């Protein structure tokens, strides 16, 4: 891997201001004047955070790329730390507009309208931490992620997610993935309680069901619906509503 150039070479305008936070304020021509934008002492040209007036939002994280002139943003909710928005752009003025909207507590869709590079993850905000709403939010994020994948097995993985979501017994459980294996929990993040089988979608078009992680020891199927049906039958009885994992 090649050594990245000095940040001052890629970002001379930022270097002239002394930090990414200062450059954001200047680029916004005053729109970020009342926004709490900070850069760390370590690598101040490459990183900045923007606080939000909404207590259930984490500070927006802004990072500069090391090998080309570009910025990435990530904005998460506070309780689980799951991303609500993301995006990348080479336009610092757009980053400043997104930062302003995040700080001001603008609705997620309005942040996207203010800065078109912003990508909504599909999750929605649940300020009261209602576990049923957090579960639905995570399903929506997972469904959107599956729809946007660009891997060769994207269609198989998406079919698995949609088949699982269509089953009421699974839809009421909190979904999570590890290495693209679909699992379920009776509690939300930040502390998951795994329950039931593990589902996988292979590049060969086969769908696996297993008791352990990834290993399809319960069966392989040619359709997602068959795999999901077995997973439902293997769920423990007497499962109640999903609860908070805090």
Q: What is the pLDDT along the chain (246 residues), one digit of tens a residue?
A: 678 899 999 999 999 999 999 999 888 765 555 678 999 999 999 999 999 999 999 999 999 999 999 999 999 999 999 999 999 999 999 999 999 999 999 999 999 999 999 999 999 999 999 999 999 999 999 999 999 988 878 899 999 999 999 999 999 999 999 888 999 999 999 999 999 999 999 878 899 999 987 788 999 999 999 999 999 999 999 998 999 998
Q: Which residues, in sequence order, are bridge partners of residue 208?
A: 200, 220
Both structure tokens of 150: 């660009």
Q: Are 137 and 130 in contact (CB under 8 A)?
A: no
Q: How far is CA 95 from CA 45, 69, 85, 149, in A?
A: 14, 13, 12, 24
CA distances from 153 to 13, 158, 217 (A): 42, 9, 21
What is the token pair recorded at 220? Answer: 């392989």
CA gap 173, 138 in Å, rounded = 10
């Amino acid at each position: 891997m090649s050594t990245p150039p000095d940040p001052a070479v890629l970002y001379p305008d930022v270097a002239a201001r002394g930090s990414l936070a200062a450059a954001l304020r200047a680029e916004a021509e005053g729109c970020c004047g009342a926004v709490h934008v900070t850069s760390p002492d370590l690598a101040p040209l490459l990183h900045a955070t923007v606080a939000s007036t909404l207590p259930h939002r984490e500070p927006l994280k802004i990072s500069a790329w090391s090998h080309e002139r570009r910025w990435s943003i990530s904005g998460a909710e506070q309780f689980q730390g799951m991303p609500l928005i993301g995006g990348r752009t080479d336009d610092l003025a757009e980053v400043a507009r997104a930062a302003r909207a995040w700080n001001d507590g603008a609705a997620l869709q309005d942040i996207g309208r203010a800065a078109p590079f912003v990508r909504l993850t599909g999750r929605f905000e649940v300020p009261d931490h209602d576990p049923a709403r957090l579960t639905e939010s995570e399903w929506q994020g997972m469904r959107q992620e599956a729809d946007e994948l660009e891997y060769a097995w994207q269609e198989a993985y998406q079919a698995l997610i949609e088949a699982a979501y269509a089953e009421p017994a699974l839809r009421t459980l909190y979904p999570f993935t590890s290495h693209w294996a679909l699992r379920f929990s009776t509690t939300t993040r930040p502390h998951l309680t795994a329950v039931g089988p593990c589902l996988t979608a292979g590049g060969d078009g086969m769908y696996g069901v297993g008791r352990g992680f990834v290993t399809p020891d319960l069966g392989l199927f040619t359709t997602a619906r068959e795999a999901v049906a077995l997973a439902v039958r293997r769920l423990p009885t007497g499962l109640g509503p999903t609860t908070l994992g805090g």
